[in-house]
Structure 1
Amino acid sequence: MTSGHGAYDKWLAKINLDEANWSHRAKCLSKNGQIEEGWFWRFRGMLSDSELIEKSFLQNIEGKGLYHIVHIPWIFPDGTAGKSDWSQDEWDFLNEALSETFNYSGGFSSEYEFKYLCIDRPSLSHFQSKNISHSYFKDGLTSHDLNNSQVSKCFINNYATGFKFILDCVVDGDAKVEDADVRIDECYIRNFVFSGHKDARRPLLEISESEITTIYISGKFSDLFIDDLICESFDISNSSFKHGTFTGEKSSIILNAENCYFENRVIFTDISLGIDITRNSSFRHAVFADKLIFDNVEVFFSCLSDIQLGGPIDLDLRDRSLEAGFARELSQLQSLKEPAYSESLRNSLERACQIICERNRQDGRKDLEKRFRRMELMARTASEHTEPSTKFINWFYREFSDFGFSWWRPLLGLVLSWFFLEPSIC
Structure 2
Amino acid sequence: MELQALLSEAGRVNPYQLYAQLHSAGAASHLDVSKDGYDLAVFGYDAVNQLLRDGRFRQLDADYLDVHSPRWREHPVLQTLRDSIFFTDGPEHARLRRLVGQLFTARRVAVMEPAITKLIHDRLDRIAQLGADGDTVDFMAEFAYAVPSCVIGDLLGVPEADRGWMRPRVLAISAIFELDGSTWPNMTRADAATRELTAYFAGLVAQRRLDPRDDLISDLARLQAETPGVFSDAELIANLITLFNAGFVTTTHLFGNGLAILADRPELRDELVESPERAPSYVEEILRVEPPAHFVVRYASSAETVGGLPCDEGSTILVMLGAANRDPSIYAEPDVFDPSRFDAGGPVTPILTFGAGGHYCLGAAMTRLEGAIAFPAIFERFPGLHLATEPPPPTQLMFRGHDVLPIRLR
In the superposition, the TM-score normalised over structure 1's length comes to 0.20
Structure in which a larger fraction of residues adopt strand: 1
Structure in which a larger fraction of residues adopt helix: 2
Select the structure with the greater relative contact order (CA < 8 A; seq sep ≥ 6).
2
